[in-house]
Structure 1
Amino acid sequence: MSDEAVDRAGRLDTATISDALDRLGIVGQCYEIKGRDPSFRMAGRAYTMRCGPAASPPGTVGDYIDDVPAGHVVVIDNGGRTDATIWGDILTEIAHRKQLAGTVIDGISRDVALCRELGYPVFAKDHWMRTGKDRVQVEEMGCVVNIGGARVQPGDILRGDPDGVVVIPKQHEDKVLAVAEEIHQAEAQIRAAVRGGARLDEARRQFKYHQLQTRDQ
């Protein structure tokens, strides 16, 4: 099913969306969350969960995957934990087969060779091989989570590219996308003017470059 807002986000880069978020005073940049391959790109709505240390006996870490709708992004808040993974090759294979948009983890993943081979976008703080089994468990599904210092609600749009990940809150998505498209157009006009022989400072002044990220009052 087509989602116009997600399609619009997918045509913008994260740097442009980040500038729009700054202008609107919204914290949506996911600090230190990067693609496990520099080519990874994604755009989709958040399917969220929060994880924590495993209980005794331990709970599950991955049985939710069959319930995630196609085109959505699996968003896992593992509290930034880097000593145990929360995503690996089995989840990657199923997510790819189900045509999910990608996975974003405030924590780490493993088995990066398969996600690279399949082209399935995984964004995380890092990757390492130590399993999360019996160390990590899912505590809550469909909840508000923290990803790299950014608040993510179910249904928010996440956009990832080689510069990282940004979240566009659902209640502000029309405004964020409109401002980001305005910034994108202004920067395209600056580049075109310079290619046509204009000085950069003149082109920036003409298209109000220095005001593009200025906080709206």
Structure 2
Amino acid sequence: MTVRLTGKIAAERIAALDFPRPDQDIIDAFKTIGCDTSMVSDVMDKLGLVGAVGASDLVPTIHGQPIVGPAITVKHEPLRGDDNPNQRAAAGFNGMAEMEAHNLAQPGDVVVIQGVAGLSNMGGVSSTIAQRQGIVGAIVDGGIRDLNLSREIGFPKWATEISPITGKWRIQTTEINGPVNVCGLRINPGDLIVADDTGVCVVPIEHARAVADGCLKMFNLEARRLEAIAAGAHIADLPKA
């Protein structure tokens, strides 16, 4: 894979330029069920997998716009040094490099940021570039800002905080496409992200097909159950398999 880097982050901090992603038919299966995280969570429970975070912790910025796609990951850490953020701001310093992840993304990816609390880890310009590159949404453990712009362009984000305070001169991007931790969940690049108004599910890539198959079975069963309910069936007679 030939990639033109932007120079926003040192090349050695990019753990991988590319990585395996789930097959398209797997992604399509999750779209068929409407990216229903409740259903995904139930199937993951049955398979002994842990990977769901509620929307009370990762709050969606645009309701009614669910997403599914492989994770492309970014790790942010507080920028440490003797100088203060005001001096860095005056000097035009910017330690954030999540845009390099946008640059490396493939259409359909979801950018996932292990961020810094109390600060914006992704703003409006970053969201606009991400959308232009084909990224379908963002998951951020930390703050975000410029909600009006991201809503205007229809770019959904799920975040733990909202803050106008920029991370540009307070945050350093330390790794791209390495493992990250979001709300206690380990996420590797290529893991499948499913998000809706109820929350966010992280499906490890090695289990993505099994979860997708389980979701389709549950989706079809629920459709038959709802049809039977609408037809007046007794509770005891509802389809069970």
Residue 106 of structure 2, aligned match among 66, 69, 72: 69
How many residues align structurally? 204
CA distance in 2, matches of 1:139, 1:30: 24
Does residue 7 in structure 1 map to residue 28 in structure 2? yes
Matched residue, 1:26: 49
Deviation digits for residues 130-182 of structure 1 (CA, Å, limit 9, x no counterpart):
11122211111111112222221111111111111111110011111111111
Q: CA deviation at 1:54?
A: 0.8
Partner SS for 1:123 = strand
Q: Which moved more, 1:33-42 or 1:11-20?
A: 33-42
What is the one-letter code of the residue matched to 1:23? Answer: K
Q: Which moved more, 1:52-61 or 1:185-194?
A: 52-61
Identity %: 30
Matched residue, 1:119: 154
What is the one-letter code of the residue matched to 1:114? Answer: L
Structure 1 gaps, min length 5? 209-217
For normalisation by structure 1, the TM-score amounts to 0.87
What is the one-letter code of the residue matched to 2:41? Answer: S
What is the one-letter code of the residue matched to 1:68? Answer: A
Q: What RMSD over aligned residues (CA atoms) do the two structures have, in Å?
A: 1.9
CA distance 1:46–1:197, change in 2 (3 Å):
same
Is this contact kept in 2: 1:40–1:122, CA < 8 A? no
Matched residue, 2:207: 172
Is this contact kept in 1: 2:74–2:98, CA < 8 A? no
Matched residue, 2:69: 44
Partner SS for 2:202 = strand
Q: CA deviation at 1:84?
A: 0.6
Matched residue, 1:212: none
Pairing 1:142-153 to 2, within 5 Å after superposition? 142-153=177-188
CA distance in 2, matches of 1:149, 1:189: 36
Structure 2 gaps, min length 5? 1-22, 84-93
Matched residue, 2:229: 194
